[in-house]
């Protein structure tokens, strides 16, 4: 990290002084280093960047050699269309941590061909390739996925089979990561189809709530995408807790793709999208992939903008909703810490120091007295409740105990209201089915009526009357325009079929023509003699009529998938705010050591 910092500072100086290291006298005609001019430049710059002459000379040579290689690569690309890609390998896959790794390839090849070359050259069997935060699809060409000459490609290890295992076990482990992503997606797709009309004890479903825990009304199309996005995010967070950052990043990037399909208005009402951006950059840090500097900066900016919309400029909206801002401060601590880290890597020492000062101020307020934690836990509160309560109340034990008790009461009241709402819904569903409506239609009507049985019954009656009117209209012998019939006869259709098709389409010649073509000129009996309205039946339906509408007709595999993904959803709605700050303290100490070293060098 120190190497990136010094190089960033030197690059800024070289731009200011309009010095091009790839040209003479710094590079000879044979692309070798001009030792004396480079040494003199190192002597000039050392006191400015506050590093030793030898460190500056080494960094200048690294910048020079990279520039020469880039220039040669650009020339090669112009002449042969062979691109040079910079590979950001896993930290344990690098032979020389200071040396950059490159790969030359044409861009009209499949990504899987490049993956095979990387696997062979670097001994990384199972990998994914990430470009600007997006996973490259193996079956697509590089140029179709916006890969260009000089692109930086992050190589992410997916899984590594244990040695001395049978080939079958190795193949199984190879599939583990992709299967995990697929299973997560399938499980949350099933959950996204459920609307809560069934017994939650046997058919769990998900609701999206605001920061207070109140359910949000969201259009069905957006709700499905949002549930998938939040599901992938929760799975990624669960993997982060287990320090499985490779696998976590795969799921988090999937969540990012799903969030991209949601409306911007929706994303401004909840802080999930901002937290996701922080989590992705935190994984970059853990994987030492901060060479993805531009992508990291953009994600942190999106997170900051989203927090601003969601919480308010002075967090006044958050204060209005929750009554305090103490718990959310951990998110800003992580945001400022990552911003400090990226500023340092970008050579901006002043900004890195300013951000770190804000981090240390927050860290001092958010670090909790172990004695106070023990005291609250002694009162019967969980460790998580104690931590969140003390932060919400700025370390005041008595206020924290009252706050936790109040939050428990709020959650219990919310659960009771939800249970009562579901009870009324189940009763309404049973009543409507006794009246002869199918389970599917009754459930849909109740969903439209927000659980109000009388309104749902009205909706079903209107639907039934409309369908009955349609049947009556279809069976009524309306006069047919003979000129339209003749048009259809001219096209080769039989008179009887032509007249029937015109009746069914309300006299629309084009529609009637298409209807006849779709049925090879002969209309089926069910069109000629429509059945009674489908929303009513003589006996209640017993079949499985909607996706995820109960466990009786559900595929056991689907039940397993749902149970699997539900395990990763935390029981506490503020679990994402419950950071112990252990990892953060390590990064703070690391940043302080880097900045202190610079201060020592400058003095």
Task: Kindly report, residue by residue over 130-172, the tens digit of the pLDDT.
Answer: 888 788 888 899 999 999 998 989 888 775 543 333 334 434 5
> How large is the average pLDDT for residues 186-198?
58
* DSSP sequence for 484-525: HHHHHHHTT--HHHHHHHHHHTTT-HHHHHHHHHHTTT---H
Q: Does the pLDDT at position 303 exceed 60?
A: yes
Q: What is the DSSP code (8-state) at residue 141?
A: B
Q: Does the pLDDT at position 317 exceed 70?
A: no
End-to-end alpha-carbon separation of the chain, Å?
21
Cα torsion through 112, 118, 120, 126, rounded to 10: -70
> How large is the average pLDDT for residues 347-355?
92
> Strands, E, within 326-459: which ranges?
none
Which pLDDT belongs to residue 134?
A: 83
Determine contact, residues 460/442, Cβ cutoff 8 Å. yes
- Look at residues 202, 257, 230 and name the one whose alpha carbon lies nearest to residue 562: 202
Which pLDDT belongs to residue 546?
A: 35
Which pLDDT belongs to residue 166?
A: 33
Buried b (16+ CB within 10 A) or exposed e, 16-25: eeeeebbeee
Using alpha carbons, list the distances in angstroms from residue 463 to 70, 146, 458: 68, 50, 9
Which pLDDT belongs to residue 173?
A: 43
Same fold, 81-158 and 482-523: no
> How large is the average pLDDT for residues 560-588?
82
Which pLDDT belongs to residue 169?
A: 42
Judged on CB neighbours under 10 Å (0-12, 13-18, 19+), 539 is exposed
227: Cβ contacts below 8 Å, ≥ 6 apart: 188, 191, 192, 206, 208
- For the domain made up of 81-158, give the CATH fold: Ubiquitin-like (UB roll) (3.10.20)
Between residues 219 and 373, the one the model is more confident about: 373
Q: Does the pLDDT at position 540 exceed 60?
A: no
| Per-domain boundaries in the chain | 1-76, 81-158, 177-325, 482-523
Domain formed by 482-523, architecture = Orthogonal Bundle (1.10)
> How large is the average pLDDT for residues 346-372?
93
Where is 127: in which H helix or E strand? strand 127-131
Q: How confident is the model at residue 177 (pLDDT cuts 50, 70, 90)?
A: low
Q: What is the mean pLDDT of the chain?
A: 79
Radius of gyration of the chain from Cα atoms? 32
Q: Does the pLDDT at position 535 exceed 50?
A: no
Between residues 601 and 120, the one the model is more confident about: 120
- pLDDT tens across 38-63, in order? 999 999 998 888 888 998 999 898 88
- pLDDT tens across 75-132, in order? 888 889 899 998 888 877 666 666 788 899 999 999 999 999 998 888 887 788 988 8
Which pLDDT belongs to residue 280?
A: 94
């Amino acid at each position: 990290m120190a190497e990136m910092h010094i190089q960033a500072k030197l690059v800024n100086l070289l731009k200011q002084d309009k010095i091009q290291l790839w040209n003479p006298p710094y590079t000879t005609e044979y692309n070798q280093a001009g030792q004396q001019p480079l040494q003199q430049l190192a002597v000039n710059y050392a006191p400015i960047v506050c590093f030793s002459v030898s460190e500056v000379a080494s960094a200048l040579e690294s910048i020079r050699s990279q520039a020469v290689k880039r220039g040669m690569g650009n020339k090669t690309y112009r002449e042969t269309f062979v691109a040079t890609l910079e590979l950001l390998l896993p930290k344990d896959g690098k032979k020389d941590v200071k040396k950059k790794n490159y790969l030359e390839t044409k861009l009209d090849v499949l990504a899987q061909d490049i993956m095979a070359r990387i696997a062979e050259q670097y001994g990384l069997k199972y990998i994914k390739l990430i470009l600007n935060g997006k996973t490259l699809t193996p079956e697509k060409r590089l140029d179709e996925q916006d890969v260009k000459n000089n692109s930086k490609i992050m190589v992410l290890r997916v899984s590594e089979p244990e040695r001395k295992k049978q080939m079958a076990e190795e193949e199984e482990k190879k599939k583990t990561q992709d299967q995990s992503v697929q299973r997560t997606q399938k499980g949350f797709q099933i959950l996204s189809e459920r609307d809560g009309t069934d017994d939650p004890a046997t058919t769990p479903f998900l609701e999206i709530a605001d920061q207070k825990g109140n359910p949000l009304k969201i259009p069905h199309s957006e709700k499905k995408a949002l549930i998938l996005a939040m599901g992938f995010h929760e799975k990624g967070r669960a993997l982060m807790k287990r320090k499985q950052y490779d696998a976590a990043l795969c799921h988090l990037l999937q969540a990012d793709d799903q969030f991209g399909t949601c409306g911007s208005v929706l994303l401004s009402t909840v802080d999930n999208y901002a937290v996701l951006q922080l989590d992705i950059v935190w994984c970059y840090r853990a994987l030492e992939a901060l060479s993805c500097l531009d992508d990291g900066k953009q994600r942190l900016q999106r997170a900051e903008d989203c927090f601003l919309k969601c919480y308010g400029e002075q967090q006044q909206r958050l204060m209005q909703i929750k009554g305090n801002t103490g718990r959310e401060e951990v998110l800003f601590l992580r945001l400022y810490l990552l911003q400090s880290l990226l500023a340092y890597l970008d050579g901006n020492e002043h900004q890195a120091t300013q951000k770190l000062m804000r981090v240390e101020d927050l860290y001092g307020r958010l670090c909790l007295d172990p004695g106070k934690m023990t005291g609250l836990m002694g009162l019967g509160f969980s460790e998580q409740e104690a931590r969140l309560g003390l932060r919400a109340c700025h370390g005041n034990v008595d206020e924290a105990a009252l706050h936790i008790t109040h939050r428990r009461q709020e959650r219990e009241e919310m659960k009771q209201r939800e249970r009562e709402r579901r009870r009324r819904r189940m009763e309404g569903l049973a009543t409507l089915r006794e009246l002869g409506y199918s389970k599917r239609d009754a459930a849909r009507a109740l969903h439209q009526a927000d659980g109000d049985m009388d309104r749902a019954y009205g909706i079903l009656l209107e639907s039934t009357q409309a369908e009955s009117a349609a049947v009556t209209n279809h069976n009524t012998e309306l006069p047919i325009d003979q000129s339209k019939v003749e048009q259809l006869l001219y096209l080769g259709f039989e008179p009887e079929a032509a007249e029937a098709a015109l009746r069914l389409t309300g006299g629309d010649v084009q529609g009637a023509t298409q209807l006849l073509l779709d049925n090879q000129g002969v209309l089926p009996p069910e069109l000629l003699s429509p059945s009674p309205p489908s929303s009513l039946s003589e006996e209640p339906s017993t079949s499985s009529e909607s996706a995820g509408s109960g466990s009786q007709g559900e595929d056991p595999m689907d039940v397993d998938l749902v149970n699997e993904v539900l395990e990763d959803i935390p029981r506490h709605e503020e679990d994402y705010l419950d950071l112990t700050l252990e990892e953060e303290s390590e990064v703070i100490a690391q940043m302080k050591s880097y900045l202190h070293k610079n201060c020592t060098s400058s003095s």
